[in-house]
Chains A and B, each alone.
Chain A
Amino acid sequence: MKCAALATVPLVLAGCTGPLSTLTPSGPIAQDIAWLWWALLAGAALLALMVFVLVALGFGRPREVAEGRWVFGMGVWFSLAVLTVTLAGALWVGERILPHGPALEVHAHARQWSWTFTHPGATGPTESEGVLHIPAGQPVDVLITSSDVIHSFWVPQLGGKMDAIPGRQNRLRIEASRPGTYEGLCAEFCGLEHASMRFEVIAHDPAAWPPLPTMEGSRP
């Protein structure tokens, strides 16, 4: 039983890497989000540890317990301290990843069940199906729209997640540190083919930006 439990650990941890993992960030915004995730995990672990210690104490012989220390010291002040630190971290990260200041603008338009992207090209705006082209090493604002139901734009290695809402245009900032191909997906259930609503983001070397129409499909 113990062996079986231990054997599943690598399996579970294997989910923590790969092209769709928030924990293998490839840009400053995704990096901030990953740090926040680790901070929240640490906070949750501290609080869980406190509860486990309390449960363990319950199994021992009956003894005198300093009620004030547990109820107020740990229950109220310790919990509040952990919550306050993680909340402050979340606010700080939240402010940092907002689209403040200038950035290159691209468009992402969602429909059941595909994405159309538009980026500024050498000869004016260029459209592409299922592939978003961006330059590496600089912030990019994705202007997100939808023509039918609510979808959600998410490239876990490059930034946060933003809903595509019919009748609205939402703005999400992403950034890739290095040229490469990154995977994205629709992160809001939108119908039968939701699971196949994937796309790619190709980050180009800034020297080769904007990409020529002929190399649109090619890998950098």
Chain B
Amino acid sequence: MRRVGGMVWLAWLIAGPTAWAAAFSVAYGLHGLGCELGWPALSLGPVSLQRVAIALPSLAAILLCLVLLARVSTALGPEAGIPRLGLWIGLVATLYTMAPVLVATSC
């Protein structure tokens, strides 16, 4: 099996936490924007636009982690161990930090 080295391996390693951090930052920004623009009052079906806006970046991050988890073995072979753990950390961290946002009062 070919060996994957250096920066590519590093990119796989930090992909999970990076996805979490990006989703967190985007949700943080959208939250403030939504409060100012009155998104909590706009309903999209059973939930407000505000909750959808905050949840979407997290869903994207979770999806990204799942896709990368499905590919990490083929991409990295025997070096996949720690990057796989990183992806799980990103996925669980995203679920953990975003869950309260969906129930708490927003603005």
- Looking across the interface, which residue of chain B has its beta carbon closest to that of A87? B100
Q: Which residues 93-118 of A sit at the B interface, judged by CB distance below 8 A?
A: 94-95, 98, 100
**B7 adjacent to chain A (CB < 8 Å):** no
Q: Find residues 50-107 in chain B having any chain A CB closer than 8 Å to their own CB.
A: 100, 103-105
> A212 contacts the other chain (Cβ, under 8 Å)?
no
The complex places the Cα of A87 from the Cα of B99 at a distance, in Å, of: 11
B-contacting residues, A75-92, CB 8 Å: 87, 91
- Interface size of A by CB at 8 A reads 6
Residues of chain B with a CB closer than 8 A to A100's CB: 105
Residue of A nearest to B36 (CB): A168
Q: How many chain B residues have a CB neighbour from A under 8 Å?
A: 4
The main secondary structure of chain A at its interface with chain B is: helix
Q: Specify which chain A residues have a CB less than 8 angstroms from the CB of B104 in the assembled complex.
A: 91, 94-95
Instruction: Render A52-96 as a binary contact track against B, CB cut-off 8 A, 1 for contact.
Output: 000000000000000000000000000000000001000100110
Q: Could you tell me the distance in whole angstroms from the C-beta of B75 to the nearest C-beta in chain A?
A: 26
Q: How far is the CB of A29 from chain B (nearest CB, A)?
A: 15
CA distance A91 to B103 in the complex (A): 9
Chain A nearest CB, measured from B95 CB (Å): 12
Complex Cα gap A87–B104 (Å): 12
Bound: A91/B105 CA distance, A: 9
Give chain B nearest CB distance to A173 CB in angstroms. 13
B105 touches A98 (CB 8 A): yes
CB contact list, A152-200 vs B, under 8 A: none
Instruction: Report the minimum CB–CB distance from B85 to chain A (whole Å).
Output: 11
Bound complex: CA of A95 vs CA of B103, how far in Å?
10
Residues of B within 8 A of A91 (CB): 100, 103-104
Assembled-state Cα–Cα distance A115/B3 (Å):
67
Residue numbers in A under 8 Å from B100 (CB-CB): 87, 91
- Enumerate chain B residues within 8 angstroms of A94, measured Cβ to Cβ: 104-105
Whose C-beta in chain B lies nearest to the C-beta of A168? B36
Which residue of chain B is the closest to A98 with respect to CB atoms? B105
Least Cβ–Cβ distance between B45 and chain A, in angstroms: 23
B81 to chain A, nearest CB (A): 15
- In the complex, what residues of B have CB within 8 A of residue A98's CB? 105
Give Cα distance in the complex from A29 to B104, angstroms.
18
Q: Which 5 A-B pairs have the closest CB atoms?
A: A91-B100, A91-B104, A98-B105, A95-B105, A95-B104
**Chain B residues in the interface with A (C-beta under 8 A):** 100, 103-105
Residue ranges of A at the interface with B (Cβ–Cβ < 8 Å): 87, 91, 94-95, 98, 100
